[in-house]
């Protein structure tokens, strides 16, 4: 074989390796009911859950706990998924900026000890630049 053919095969092998590793990292979108079932079945795969923050009749966020003076890396809130199931979410990192303005929240993580342990929070917020458009921001918890 010529050197160029060997080089081409190496490039193809590297590309296949990247595709396989990326596909293995993909997680699925589920609701909290399915997330609980997956946890009971021993499935420790990271999943996405879409929902909205729990609010009172006046539109204020309720059941949100963040006390940076005690522990700046502990943020807890209640998320209501698309099936109207409420779930306590624990995020072991700082509260994301503009979290209170979020229209929709996607949490990435897994069920653990009766709560959803979030590794990442994706937020859809109203854009401050154009009316009617949504702005998406992402926050990832640091591994400890």
Residues 51-65, mean pLDDT to the nearest whole number: 88
Q: How far apart are CA 132 and CA 128, in angstroms?
A: 10
> In this structure, what are the phi and psi dihedrals at residue 67, rounded to the nearest 5 degrees?
-125, 85
H or E element in which residue 108 lies = strand 104-112
pTM: 0.70
pLDDT-derived band at 85, boundaries 50, 70, 90: very high
Q: Decide if 99 contacts 123 (C-beta within 8 A).
A: yes
Write down the pLDDT at residue 24: 55
Q: Decide if 142 contacts 74 (C-beta within 8 A).
A: no
Q: Decide if 124 contacts 134 (C-beta within 8 A).
A: yes
């Amino acid at each position: 074989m010529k050197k160029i053919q060997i080089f081409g095969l190496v490039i193809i092998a590297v590309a296949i390796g990247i595709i396989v590793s990326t596909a293995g990292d993909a997680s699925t979108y589920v609701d909290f009911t399915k997330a609980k079932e997956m946890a009971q079945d021993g499935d420790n795969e990271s999943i996405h859950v879409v929902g909205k923050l729990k609010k009172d009749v006046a539109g204020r966020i309720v059941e949100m706990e963040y006390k940076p003076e005690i522990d700046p890396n502990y943020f807890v809130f209640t998320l209501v998924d698309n099936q109207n199931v409420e779930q306590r979410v624990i995020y072991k990192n700082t509260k994301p900026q503009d979290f209170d303005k979020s229209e929709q929240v996607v949490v990435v993580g897994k069920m653990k000890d009766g709560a959803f342990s979030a590794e990442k929070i994706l937020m859809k917020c109203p854009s401050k630049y154009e009316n009617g458009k949504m702005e998406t921001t992402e926050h990832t918890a640091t591994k400890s």
